[in-house]
Amino acid sequence: MQKQPNKPTIQGEIEKALQKLNISSSITHAGRTDRGVHALNQVIAFNAPDFWDIDKLRNELNKILYPAIFIKKLSKTNENFNPRFDAKKRSYRYVITNKITPFSANYVTFYENKIDIKILQKALKLFEGKHNFEYFAKTGSSVNGYIREIYKTDIFEYKNFVIIKIVGNGFLRGQIRLIIDFILKINENKLTLNDLKSQLNKEKLISKHLAPPNGLYLERIWY
């Protein structure tokens, strides 16, 4: 999401689209997503002249941004609105399949092992509540603290997919992908629920690897 020098990013492409419409504004966003991660409902904010009709502006931006980016809705907000700091909670989903095709390869994670839904439900439940997630954050993350609260977790099957959903008040860099990798190692009997408890309680750093980005989606943000 975040703009990077000499690299195409969501932020960069939207700002270029605004410039084509003679709107000089940087954008603020609800959160950055790693390369390869998707957003179903990312929230951004920018300044635009009052004469623009909201629906016309959305249509014009979508013409320019097609096909990689689509703006679902534009709304007027107060000038103090901040998509990141005003957010109350967020949800992510992670999509896994054992039947991959070239058409879906960039949007789901291929995982050939059979998934034990019950054991992963138990693993996910351990994350619920307020915890220090330092051992489930990317190394080098610059934050004021590592305390986050996860309100709800879920895992279910839908057709050929297994979908994992996590809802919390906020997430650290890489946190979801580190969680997914850990619980999939539990699924493979490489790690145990006790290993998870030890790492979650910061008793011992056992495993810190990122699951692939292509199965991860920022699903929803509440304000």
Token output for 120: 């992963």
Catalytic residue among 34, 116, 154, 195: 34
Query: For 138, phi and psi rounded to 5 degrees?
Result: -60, 140
CA-to-CA distance for 158 and 116, rounded, in angstroms? 14
Token output for 188: 């493979």
Nearest to 49 by CA among 23, 29, 21, 18: 23
User: Taken in order 214, 108, 43, 148, is the CA torsion positive or negative?
Assistant: negative
Q: Answer yes or no: 34 catalytic.
A: yes
Query: For 109, phi and psi rounded to 5 degrees?
Result: -105, 125
Q: Which helix (H) or strand (E) holds 29?
A: strand 28-29
Question: Cβ(213)–Cβ(191) under 8 Å?
Answer: no
Token output for 66: 């097609």
**What residues are annotated to the active site?**
34
